[in-house]
Amino acid sequence: MNQVTAILLGAGARGQVYANYAKQHPEELKIVAVAEPKMERRSQFCECFDISEQAQYSTWEQLLAQPRMADAAIICTLDDMHTQPALIALEKGYNVLLEKPMSNTEEECQAIEKAARENSCVLSVCHVLRYTPFYQKLKQLIDEGAIGTVAAIDQIENVAYWHQAHSFVRGNWRNSTQTSSMILQKGCHDMDIIAWLIGQKCERLSSFGSLQHFTLKNAPLDAPDCCMNGCSHSDNCIYYAPKLYLTDNIGWPTDMISTDLSYEGRLRALKTGPYGRCVYHCDNNVVDRQVVNMEFTGGAVATFTMTAFTTESARQIKIMGTKGQISADMNTNTIKLHRFCEVEPSSIEVPLLIESNNYGHGGGDYYLMRDFVHLIQNGGSSLSSAQASLQSHSMCFAAERARLTHETVELI
């Protein structure tokens, strides 16, 4: 197989995850240039991936201003910095791996889909769940008719209280005016999976949800703006920043707060950066709970629940068909199939490749990357193409409109 070359735009958390594929499979993928404005992050990355000085850029604009220098562009900048790099990269003939959400606005998602359609390049959106052995198995069972025709799906996204605090109260995705709504940011994976499993178009939906807990009205009396400013509630508060970030765990999410992960480095980051802030004194506005009700062509219905208030950070799904039901938990990688004609349910094996062990999202990060590289090498169509992703992104935009207006939104 030919080695695929790629440029990376944004060497943050996600960029590093995908780039790791090149470390693991150097015969398949080589990162040849990077754009990353954070100097320390950029030099750590370039040292690790052996990227020459001429191939290091501060911004994606600078990198994409150069003539095309690789087969693929991996776009891992933050949400509001996806559209322009994606459009320019496609125009230059790069195959594009684009982080989700495609964009924060529906119009821009449509523009990306149009550009991908008009180009002969691969464009894969990082809907990593589609690629996990867990959801692949569920899709296979449904398509084989193991439970007859799907009548209803319930999917729960257990965000986990600490993950909500890290990403959606203190962190990057706390404020929809700066990034996107929770349903687009986090729930786009779920809406995508539901639509993909059902295999039909969503015709209409409604949604409810709000931000209730992580607000000023719930701040303990006299709690300072920052945990590090002598908070008298440190013993009792589960969100006290040192309890989350000054522990033995220096992996995710702690490694997001600073590039200096020594105790002193992390302490400094909590004192000066956003992750030390009191969770009740932040500038967050995204919901901490939301439900979406959907109806699909053919009559299948689905519900999606997202909640911050769980211990585990994982998804559960129940799929109810005319001939049986499936209950599955992504956290434990367990699938139970109960056909109505059988007395007992059976447990279904979810095979995992050993290579995917160190990747997140149930191995989805690994399988997505592998698929992307193989598509460039061998051709074919992407499982998470711009067209498929636009459909589920549109459901998210509609769900947010429905939540804000309290009205049912028609999609067809």
Q: Give me the residues that bind ligand NAD (CB under 6 A), please.
A: 9-15, 35-38, 41, 59-60, 76-79, 81, 99-100, 126, 128, 172, 361
Shorter beta-carbon distance to ligand NAD: residue 41 or 201: 41
Shorter beta-carbon distance to ligand NAD: residue 104 or 206: 104
Shorter beta-carbon distance to ligand NAD: residue 78 or 352: 78
- What CA–CA distance (Å, rounded) separates 89 from 119? 11
Q: How far is the CB of 83 from ligand NAD (least distance, A)?
A: 11
Q: How far is the CB of 339 from ligand NAD (least distance, A)?
A: 33
- What CA–CA distance (Å, rounded) separates 160 from 313? 5
Shorter beta-carbon distance to ligand NAD: residue 41 or 336: 41
Q: How far is the CB of 148 from ligand NAD (least distance, A)?
A: 31
Q: How far is the CB of 10 from ligand NAD (least distance, A)?
A: 3
Q: How far is the CB of 302 from ligand NAD (least distance, A)?
A: 20
Shorter beta-carbon distance to ligand NAD: residue 79 or 295: 79
Q: How far is the CB of 163 from ligand NAD (least distance, A)?
A: 11
Shorter beta-carbon distance to ligand NAD: residue 127 or 289: 127
